[in-house]
Amino acid sequence: MNLVNYHTKDAIAYVAMAKAPLNALDMDMIAALHEAMDRARRDSAVLGVVLFGEARMFSAGADIREFDAPDTLRPALQELCSAIECLCKPVVAAIHTCALGGALELAVGCHARIAMIGSRLGLPEVSLGLLPGGGGTQRVPRLVGTTQALQLMIGGKPIDAAQAHAIGLVDEVVTSDLLASAAAAVIRLATGASCRVTSRLPADVSSESLAEIERRRTQTARLSTPAQAAIVECVDRAMKHAPEDALAFEWRELIKLMHTPQSRALRHLFFAEKEAARLSTGAAPEALVPIRRIAVVGAGTMGSGIATCFLAAGFPVVLLDVADAALERGRDAIQRALDAGVRRGRWSCAESANFIDRLTTATDLEEAASADLVIEAVFENLSLKREVMQRLGKIVTHDAILATNTSTLNVDELAAATSRPSQVIGMHFFSPAHVMRLLEIVNGRATSPRVLATAMAIAHRIGKQAVVSGVCYGFIGNRMLEGYLRETDLLLLEGASPAQIDRALEAFGMAMGPCRMLDMSGVDVSARVVEEAQRRADVSRDGAYRLVCRRLHAMGRDGQKSGVGYYRHDGQKLLPVDDQTTLYASWAAEFGIARRSSISDDEIVHRCLLASINEGFRIIDERVASREGDIDVVWTNGYGFPRHLGGPMYQARQWGLPYVIARLEEFAKRYPREPSWAAAPLLAVQAAANETTRSTA
């Protein structure tokens, strides 16, 4: 199989990248492109080259797997781009679908770029903790100016062909005949118009450009990944140093970044996310249940958020609730979410109008009859959900899928109520559902493989990161969160303050500390879930379990919504609650919990995280999650775990499992009333195996 196909027609050489699925630019592909360019150079009958990608896209960029062995890499893409610039014959990149990372760098190394409308172009290396190392930091600023270039590289978000044209990244956008347009450009360049060599364009040394460098330098110094700051320095060199020096600097910085723990963690997540969603791309479309129309039952915050997701993906949706007033509120919430999407540039005004046109509302559950996928999002109450599922089971067509958005209830029990359990699945969206990327797909005991594959494909279509979970209390994410919150409440009883706990975990990198999070999402919501879970013995029935949360709720201190919870809320300000110390001390005394005058941040971080990590190993052992990577994907996408640390399970591996065990034993000795500190059997086995490997190495 050729990596690159080469043919000539009418004095033009067509060089096609041909490596399924995404034309990744690995070392072999770059060498093959080099050869093809050389062949075109040597052929006197060839006037110039059209460079394009066969099959799905132009190219997804460098092969990320090669970054695991940084010291074996050479600056091959830099060399290829320089060779193209010196070819003496015009090379035009014909871009369709995607030109990302190294692929865009390759395109800017060409003499012109023609893009198919709707194609996406970007430099997303920063999302892997890296920088564009194929000369991109040098050429892109020359082409589009420093400000736009820094935005592309530091923001990392791809832009579409029209935007790329507007900033000068591509020369022409076409709606059809991409290759013919590129060939015409080659002829134009070869027979008159001068050939523009990007790296010889003058550097952007305007005062605005220098000011932008300074602004970005200050901004990126605070970040927890070094890639952004390195990008600024490379662009600075593009202005002040000879091109060869600047390119050498870019390459050295790239290799340094590949070795950083942050980049390793981000690369782990890149592949973990693909792996977690694999079913969604693997199943043949004919094997899936055709989904054309959606019904969402319950027009509250979750229901309207879920409806928004499907509308924005182009599905017609019927939103159902018992009262017209609830439907009105739901419709308003959807409209507000769509308007916010217009403001953020996610879709146009016209698209938003089209989306809302596809929304109907009804108070009669029978209206769900025409839907292929019905998602219930009613109040989190077992008997209510059971009743709704039972009725839906009688209403919908034989092939339709019934999904429940429960976050804590037993999907198998709900499925049993429908008399068609093989068609039932859990789709656990996170709030706000139209914003949060994570979707836990809960595979019930009776769920058919076809229904599972369809749910995964639908998740992909609505732009969600799917992770499959088995049935258990809280599924993957919330079950692990229990341990985290259990320790939060205990630490408060032992003498830590909400502010200290939040500060310690936020300094570790969590997006939001647990006390702030509970106040925001509602102490009442969490307390009710715990009480129900204790009643059903899904969690410990110890009287001290999640005591602070339950007691605060009993006192009406439900967080932000009631002005007081773990904090006192004064507008946006979070203040300590006046009586918190006395209150927590008296509750601690009631349960014989000793108070301490000082608790270290290290203890806070390790107790909260190790409680969840230990549960993570139990979850794998019970096959609720298939892989450690799936857990990492859940926690980084749904629970604010810092991406540059790769997720809780990845972090446990970085700490080393024997260290994890040692800390669990330390906590187990100190807190004998908490049986969960016993190491999960799988963790104990793997830690022992690690020790053995180390001692025999």
Residues that bind ligand COA (CB under 6 A): 21-22, 24, 60-65, 98, 100-101, 124-125, 128, 130, 271, 274, 278, 281
Distance of CA 608 to the CA centre of its chain: 23
CB 491 within 8 A of CB 615: no
109 vs 91: CA distance, rounded Å: 9
Q: Within a 10 A sphere around the Cβ of 162, how many other Cβ atoms?
A: 13
137 vs 243: CA distance, rounded Å: 11
* In the complex, least distance from residue 113 CB atom to ligand COA, rounded to whole angstroms: 17
253 is catalytic: no
Q: Which residues contact 129 (CB under 8 A, 6 or more apart)?
A: 225, 226, 227, 257, 260, 262, 263, 264, 265, 266, 267, 644
Nearer to ligand COA, 21 or 576 (CB): 21
Nearer to ligand COA, 181 or 454 (CB): 454
Phi, psi of 344 (to 5 degrees): -85, 0
In the Cβ-directed half-sphere of 221, how many Cα atoms lie within 13 Å?
A: 6
Distance of CA 123 to the CA centre of its chain: 17
Which has the closest alpha carbon to 360: 293, 305, 418, 420?
293
* In the complex, least distance from residue 192 CB atom to ligand COA, rounded to whole angstroms: 36
Nearer to ligand COA, 60 or 333 (CB): 60
491 vs 508: CA distance, rounded Å: 17
Phi, psi of 496 (to 5 degrees): -75, 155
CB 260 within 8 A of CB 70: no
* In the complex, least distance from residue 4 CB atom to ligand COA, rounded to whole angstroms: 17
Q: Which amino acid is at 197?
A: V
3-state SS class at 53 = strand
> Could you tell me the two tokens for 507?
């300094």
Nearer to ligand COA, 77 or 291 (CB): 77
* In the complex, least distance from residue 9 CB atom to ligand COA, rounded to whole angstroms: 29
* In the complex, least distance from residue 163 CB atom to ligand COA, rounded to whole angstroms: 17
* In the complex, least distance from residue 98 CB atom to ligand COA, rounded to whole angstroms: 5
- Closest residue to ligand COA in the complex (CB): 101
Nearer to ligand COA, 278 or 346 (CB): 278
- Inter-CA distances, 113 with 53, 120, 146, 150, 491, Å: 13, 13, 20, 20, 59
Task: Exactly one of 35, 85, 125, 233 is catalytic; name it.
Answer: 125
Q: Which residues contact 357 (CB under 8 A, 6 or more apart)?
A: none
562 vs 545: CA distance, rounded Å: 23
Distance of CA 494 to the CA centre of its chain: 36
Task: State the greatest distance between any 2 C-alpha atoms of the chain, in Å, as a whole number.
Answer: 92
Residue 526: is it exposed, middle or buried by C-beta count within 10 angstroms (0-12/13-18/19+)? Answer: buried
3-state SS class at 19 = coil
CB 104 within 8 A of CB 75: no
Distance of CA 619 to the CA centre of its chain: 22
Nearer to ligand COA, 62 or 182 (CB): 62
244 vs 249: CA distance, rounded Å: 9
* In the complex, least distance from residue 281 CB atom to ligand COA, rounded to whole angstroms: 5
Nearer to ligand COA, 217 or 278 (CB): 278
* In the complex, least distance from residue 592 CB atom to ligand COA, rounded to whole angstroms: 52
Q: Within a 10 A sphere around the Cβ of 161, how many other Cβ atoms?
A: 24
CB 153 within 8 A of CB 199: no
125 is catalytic: yes
Nearer to ligand COA, 77 or 396 (CB): 77
Nearer to ligand COA, 98 or 472 (CB): 98
Nearer to ligand COA, 271 or 379 (CB): 271
Nearer to ligand COA, 119 or 404 (CB): 119
Task: Exactly one of 54, 79, 105, 387 is catalytic; name it.
Answer: 105
* In the complex, least distance from residue 247 CB atom to ligand COA, rounded to whole angstroms: 17
CB 172 within 8 A of CB 185: yes
The angle subtended at Cα 297 by Cα 292 and Cα 300, nearest 5°, is: 125
> Which DSSP state fits 621?
H
* In the complex, least distance from residue 53 CB atom to ligand COA, rounded to whole angstroms: 11
Question: How is 427-493 classified by DSSP, letter by letter?
Answer: EEE-SSTTT--EEEEE--SS--HHHHHHHHHHHHHTT-EEEEE-SSTTHHHHHHHHHHHHHHHHHHH
3-state SS class at 262 = helix
3-state SS class at 570 = strand
3-state SS class at 268 = helix
CB 50 within 8 A of CB 99: no
* In the complex, least distance from residue 120 CB atom to ligand COA, rounded to whole angstroms: 7
Q: Which residues contact 139 (CB under 8 A, 6 or more apart)?
A: 81, 105, 108, 109, 198, 199
Nearer to ligand COA, 149 or 295 (CB): 149
* In the complex, least distance from residue 153 CB atom to ligand COA, rounded to whole angstroms: 12
Q: Within a 10 A sphere around the Cβ of 350, how many other Cβ atoms?
A: 9
Residues classed as catalytic = 105, 125
